[in-house]
Structure 1
């Protein structure tokens, strides 16, 4: 195996670890709530904090990678992620679990912010679509493993092992990463301390305020936090325009393909990535399925996606990202509509879940390799880390807000304690029709948001990948 393929294999392994962890935690949430004697809103921070930390830090860590070496940030990310996973599994309380989840997410942020840039360093522009296709396989295989193992481990062994499973993989991956991922490309420039502080404060205020809406609703405290965050963000923009070495180089938005690809990623995350969470909670809470039974229904989509992603990646190398990425969003939009027909009651055929998951899997395998390769192919070589970090920041902002929207809207028509008990599968009464209507509304809003991303993807413009340098 040549060096390029070795590096690609390591990045795919890291992607797979992140995917395993994301799907496993969703399935285990009800069990964790019961075992650690906590409530749904406290436990949901196990998911939200991970997204929150990655969101706040990816842009800065991407730029740090440009400055000190992307290999250093990426390789040590494996180590931090592995240690965090071990500590999560050993957590004696919900507070310590959330805290150690924050450490784990720091490692995830280090890998996410520089993984795309490592591939861009390793492969030429006209081969990156294929490479990102394989990273898409890593995500889908990891999601499959997470769902299958999450269902089995949570049902038959215990939730702590959903974190312990990362430890042996992480140790092997760390050794391989330090040995083979070497980056000599750095940019000797001053770190934008003022911009880093302002962006961190802004994203923290907005993210915390938004996340808290899921538990408390839209109250004055959350409104103030979000408004303050937006004010600080405006200050950040003015600061960045005057900075010599800004965290976000706003000149990149002069490139239409890059700009539209970045925001297509944001709206795709915002509209689609909470769908799996909604459906799993629906299957466990409304339909009464076990974690293992719910997981099996979603596996086919990930299997299909992992099988065809390399071919769709090669397609984007040949014809550009616009057509495959836009077609992928159309498939994901269709999948949401199928899910909507399922979530209209408590007796709809569960086979429709498999159909929707396959349609969504085809869509993701078309969208991710094409869109990711378009972003990195249209970024200047010296700022791969910054652009990769910005892309992950936008995607994770969309992911966080998608969870907030899904929880807030689905629980809007019933008392919040009823909604949370339904989510956890502990509600003893008849499932309120208004709650099912709320799930329907959350999915419908997701489809509208995803449609915006589809339009942006279609309008990004044509690119000739072989001519991009």
Structure 2
């Protein structure tokens, strides 16, 4: 452990960049209708703007956490921040949907280099008895960023155009780079070898799974080209991911995913719970903003303002929750948060009709903010509490990877479900028209579209119910002194294999 005298300035510098990359996970959701209009594309294509970012963000996280251990978290963070900022500029200047998707993928890779470093640095520079508030602040930043994204996006889209949701990252990225250069300490590095076969298996498997799920409805869950079918891609993705896990268990080199970490009950459960959270928080925003803008005729700014109660409650309560989880068993806090989030999403779904008074949506929005504040900090604290300093990079990489995998699958699954429910609930042939529409739908299509969006929100609600079932199984946290005494006597994961 490499505690520093004043760790909080370093944390502030890191979370500025962390906040920015998480805002970009959700900021596009409110701009989707305008991007569809500006680049003349459809719902399924525009959702790939989010999915490409999330996929390129998720896949490299396992190896970028190790790269931070080997080359230094500060160095990797600054390189990633540079890539992210330049890719943001590229996104803003994109003139076609294909170019925008490609630029977003590069942006996601930059984010993947940054994210594990923030969590690893917290684990290494804060003393164990001071880490709860720091990790709570980190978790709160994640929660608030994913809720603030749509609000900021709405203001920028209406005021300056959809391109500015990307251009705004450039000055923020420059400030974050200067702050991190000056305030983040240079930490001791650890030698690591990289599991290239593991990287290949995880990348290919995840891509096949996500592509199959998201594009399934487009190809009617049948043939894509020649012998390639949707279900074939999904099954192949699952099989390859299974091979990846098997390879991690038998490789004699340094595994990309140290499976021994999953013997720790709370680490395993926290990773599963954050996967459900990433899935649900990503999936819920797409049908919600399509409803606000295409059924209720709201501008991006007006629809984003519907999220203010959520962001306000989450931002105010999150710091208190961060302190609370050092005192109270985190499982009770997280379980309550998940249950309240499920209630808020089902409440929102029940309100989705063309003539519901719009102010009623502010009530479940506020409840969603309260719920969110009780989830992020308890999960991140539970996941990292049992990590020793040698495992910081790998553990942070795994935790962030599982969250992003959840987000990728949420984006893909909600895209498939929206397409299916539009086909089922709207008049014959009308769902294709709604797919490429900009502006408010004709009155005769609004009821079916509202029903389809409400039914789609049940999917993220089911996700957080699963999260609640996982959270209640958390074991009582062990004293940090015992954990660090245990790690002091143990070899590193690489040493265990020899």
Q: TM-score per shorter chain, which class?
A: over 0.9
CA contact (8 A) 2:351 2:361 kept: yes
Listed one character per residue, the Cα deviations across residues 343-370 of structure 1 (whole Å, up to 9, x for unaligned) are 2x21112222211111111111111011
Match of 1:161 in 2: 164
Q: Matched residues in 1 for 2:421 and 2:456: separation?
A: 12
Tell me by how many angstroms 1:200 deviates. Answer: 1.7
Question: Which one of 97, 102, 109 corresponds to residue 100 of structure 2?
Answer: 97
Question: Which one of 17, 27, 35 corresponds to residue 24 of structure 1?
Answer: 27
Per the alignment, in what secondary structure is the counterpart of residue 452 of structure 1? helix
CA contact (8 A) 2:25 2:53 kept: no
| Residue 219 to residue 3, structure 1, CA distance change in 2 (3 Å) | farther
- TM superposition score normalised by structure 2: 0.88
Match of 1:116 in 2: 119
Match of 2:493 in 1: none
Tell me by how many angstroms 1:141 deviates. Answer: 5.1
Q: Matched residues in 2 for 1:456 and 1:148: separation?
A: 30
Tell me by how many angstroms 1:179 deviates. Answer: 2.5
Structure 2: gaps (5+ residues): 224-228, 424-430, 485-498
87-96 vs 436-445, which moves further: 436-445
Match of 2:388 in 1: 380
CA contact (8 A) 1:320 1:465 kept: no
Match of 1:297 in 2: 306
CA contact (8 A) 2:217 2:420 kept: no
| Residue 222 to residue 183, structure 1, CA distance change in 2 (3 Å) | farther
Matched, 1:458 2:472: yes
Tell me by how many angstroms 1:456 deviates. Answer: 0.8
Q: Matched residues in 2 for 1:320 and 1:53: separation?
A: 35
Match of 2:451 in 1: 437
Q: Matched residues in 2 for 1:191 and 1:169: separation?
A: 32
Match of 1:172 in 2: 175
Q: Matched residues in 1 for 2:446 and 2:149: separation?
A: 31
Matched, 1:285 2:299: no
Q: Compute the RMSD of aligned alpha carbons.
A: 2.2
Listed one character per residue, the Cα deviations across residues 96-140 of structure 1 (whole Å, up to 9, x for unaligned) are 222111111111111223221121112233332311332344345
Q: Matched residues in 1 for 2:463 and 2:152: separation?
A: 32
Match of 2:435 in 1: 420
Matched, 1:275 2:284: yes
CA contact (8 A) 1:265 1:371 kept: yes
Tell me by how many angstroms 1:25 deviates. Answer: 1.4
Matched, 1:260 2:269: yes
| Residue 60 to residue 189, structure 1, CA distance change in 2 (3 Å) | closer
Q: Matched residues in 2 for 1:76 and 1:12: separation?
A: 16
Tell me by how many angstroms 1:216 deviates. Answer: 3.6
Listed one character per residue, the Cα deviations across residues 65-101 of structure 1 (whole Å, up to 9, x for unaligned) are 2222222222211111111111111222222222111
Tell me by how many angstroms 1:336 deviates. Answer: 1.0
Per the alignment, in what secondary structure is the counterpart of residue 245 of structure 1? coil
Match of 1:237 in 2: 245
Per the alignment, in what secondary structure is the counterpart of residue 431 of structure 1? helix
Tell me by how many angstroms 1:259 deviates. Answer: 0.8
CA contact (8 A) 1:140 1:303 kept: no
CA contact (8 A) 1:130 1:310 kept: yes
Q: Matched residues in 1 for 2:10 and 2:339: separation?
A: 32
132-141 vs 251-260, which moves further: 132-141
Per the alignment, in what secondary structure is the counterpart of residue 318 of structure 1? coil
Tell me by how many angstroms 1:448 deviates. Answer: 2.4
* Paired residues for 1:37-76 under 5 Å: 37-76=40-79
| Residue 375 to residue 37, structure 1, CA distance change in 2 (3 Å) | same
Q: Matched residues in 1 for 2:250 and 2:354: separation?
A: 57
Listed one character per residue, the Cα deviations across residues 23-47 of structure 1 (whole Å, up to 9, x for unaligned) are 3311111111211222332222111
Structure 1: gaps (5+ residues): none
Q: Matched residues in 1 for 2:214 and 2:65: separation?
A: 24
Listed one character per residue, the Cα deviations across residues 6-31 of structure 1 (whole Å, up to 9, x for unaligned) are 11101221122123323331111111
CA contact (8 A) 2:41 2:436 kept: no
265-274 vs 25-34, which moves further: 265-274
CA contact (8 A) 1:126 1:465 kept: no
| Residue 206 to residue 148, structure 1, CA distance change in 2 (3 Å) | closer
Matched, 1:85 2:88: yes
Matched, 1:212 2:227: no
CA contact (8 A) 1:128 1:317 kept: no
* Paired residues for 1:321-400 under 5 Å: 321-343=330-352, 345-400=353-408
| Residue 234 to residue 145, structure 1, CA distance change in 2 (3 Å) | closer
Tell me by how many angstroms 1:164 deviates. Answer: 0.9
- TM superposition score normalised by structure 1: 0.93
Per the alignment, in what secondary structure is the counterpart of residue 430 of structure 1? helix
| Residue 70 to residue 420, structure 1, CA distance change in 2 (3 Å) | same
Match of 2:487 in 1: none
- Give the number of equivalent residue pairs: 467
| Residue 148 to residue 233, structure 1, CA distance change in 2 (3 Å) | closer
